[in-house]
A and B are shown apart, each in its own frame.
Chain A
Amino acid sequence: MTTLSVPAKKFRTVREQSLFLFFWMRFRRHVTAMLGGIIMLIMTVVIAFAPVFSPYDPFDQDLLNRLQPPSTEHWMGTDDLGRDMLTRILYGGRISLSVGLLAMGVSIVLGTLIGLTSGYYGGWTDSILMRITEIFLSIPRLFVLIAMGMFLRSLNLPNIQAGSFMPIAVVIGALSWMGTARLVRASTLELRGREFVQASRALGGSDARLLFMHILPNIMSPIIVSATLGLAGAIISESGLSYLGFGVQLPTPTWGNMLSNTQNQMLTAPWTAIFPGLMIFFVVIAINYLGDGLRDALDPRHIVGKK
């Protein structure tokens, strides 16, 4: 495709730069995606430095000040145990986002590995792996998540210490890799026969080299997009499960379980039901717009500005 009059090394650096610039120029024009990115950035910083932004402790109960409406002291009011809502939302955000990230990580790694193996080796390996994918696609996801949550709950794991959110995050990830696997498999199938992959094979490249040096870098775009959308999905899944009481257990706050008991307080303290959900909504819509922008910017066939 290219004449080799330019030294290979130099050519590559120039190309890498321009690829990123190409992406950035396109992404920048996507106003909503930029906005989503900025919101996520601010949110992450505020949540990471939660103690700086709030003088309260997320677990400290103040029974004399139960269910106080929003005021200058408690910007988002207090909950049924007198805990500061804003503080719990900040600390809950740590858990909710961590669960989302871990679940997304698990599902992307699983999906990518399964998709690569399936598409690259084909034959029996492919048949078996795709059958397994089908099995996972045929189970009612939310219902099985609840059953898994029931199982985790019965183990009575300690739930205040750091990392107590991990099991449920892994479970969510383990039940949501199928889309990525199919996507990666299709792309791998297509790339496997291409000249540059065949050339590497002819030069004696090992399977691992072909897979991870040649095929994987070329399918990063769809993987990145599906990771972004997967993050949004994982956050929604966690919040729903925790809302039902089968996810992260109280008193550890997450945006989902903060909503758990609010239905009884709706008459007297509607703010307890409004703010945590609003956070989920903002974060998820920001991530979804981000993913939308990434998809458009990473796909060279797409003309930016014309959706």
Chain B
Amino acid sequence: MATYLLRRLLQSILTLLVISMILFGLISSVPGGIMSAYQENPDFTAEDLARLEAKYGLNDPVPVRYLKWLGNTLQGDFGNSFISKRPALEEIGDRLPNTMLLMGVMLIVTLLIAIPLGIISAIKQYTWFDHITTTLAFAGQSLPVFWFGLLLIIIFSVTLKGADGKPLLPGSGMYTLGAPFSLIDRVEHLILPVTMLAFVSAAGYMRYLRSSMLDVINEDYVRTARAKGARERVVIFKHAMRNALIPLVTLIGLDLPSLFGGALFTETIFAWPGIGRLYFTAALKTDYPVVMAVLIIYSALIILSSLLVDVIYAILDPRIRLS
């Protein structure tokens, strides 16, 4: 186990290094960036520009710039945002709680919907309940998520009105501007973005759980449980469901990095001040340090979580041996 972990860890670091090289090469070949602001300014002469280029090290060959970037990054310095002039890491830190709130609530809602629906439709296979849920899930998986968000806004923030003549639900932001903090206000602002994400993601989880449950129901140990006369409830909840939920660990584990950046469309559409929106605006304004920082942290999280999933899976399912 220890050698396995060590090897995987080394591999992960190598993978991350290669990814950072590729991404740095890509990002640094995009023109614009910090110089574009000065280039448009008539007060800056060609000499000034050249001096600035030298100051920012833009004349160095890409590998040299990469090594400098890597050196700084390893010390936790991702550089300053070209726009706000604040450290990129600080910008990310500011937005992280907002994204985690949105995605955390979303993940809980998703599981609360998907687990019961998936299990029930597997137990009641081919009934009307199963047909309706599978069809809905199929539709959910084919839905362009950003368009679904637009539809939600049209329906709940534009067309439908509350008793006071105001829109039924707020369609943008995280809180009402100028109002003091209140839990109700926060929840109201969460409803639409969470619905948008949870519908689509619950669809995937539900289909997965249904087929996982169907597989388990046909296993010998479930048949044995029935044969020895265990009650149906016991068979379903104790023998079948607990085993059907094991693959869910993989699914949730692989979804964990999305707590960091999984809501780009939602955050852009609902003006939610999170990482996705930060990344989107940074990309629009070619703010490389922020773009690079988000990409690297996100990649690192994805690599870490897949390592985590393999280890946890091996602990949960003794049939699996790590090698």
Contacts and interface: CB of A to CB of B under 8 A. Distances in A.
Given A147-B283, A285-B139, A288-B142, A262 B150 contact: yes
B44 interface: no
Nearest to A287: B142
Nearest to A237: B144
A135 B21 CA distance: 12
B280 A147 contact: no
B144 A140 contact: no
Interface string B304-321: 001000000000000000
Contacts of A143: 261, 264, 279, 294-295, 298
Contact of A240 (B29, B265, B286, B294): B265
B interface secondary structure, majority: helix
A180 B153 CA distance: 37
Given A143-B298, A244-B268, A263-B150, A138 B306 contact: yes
A140 B299 contact: yes
B121 to A, nearest CB: 11
A289 interface: yes
B146 A266 contact: no
Contacts of A151: 26-27, 29-30
Nearest to B298: A140
Nearest to B125: A307
A135 B138 contact: no
Interface in A119-138: 131, 134-135, 138
A226 to B, nearest CB: 15
Contacts of B11: 131
Interface stretch (A21-29, A50-58, A272-280): A272-280
Contact of B26 (A142, A147, A245): A147
Interface of B: 11, 15-16, 18-19, 22-23, 26-27, 29-32, 126, 138-139, 141-148, 150-151, 153-154, 158-159, 257, 261, 264-265, 268-269, 279-280, 283-284, 286, 291, 294-295, 298-299, 302-303, 306
22 contacts: A138-B306, A139-B23, A140-B295, A151-B30, A154-B286, A244-B265, A245-B284, A246-B283, A256-B144, A263-B269, A266-B158, A267-B158, A273-B150, A273-B154, A274-B151, A276-B147, A277-B150, A281-B139, A284-B143, A285-B138, A288-B142, A292-B138
Interface of A: 131, 134-135, 138-140, 142-144, 146-151, 154, 232, 236, 239-240, 243-246, 256, 259, 262-263, 266-267, 270, 273-274, 276-277, 280-281, 284-285, 288-289, 292, 307
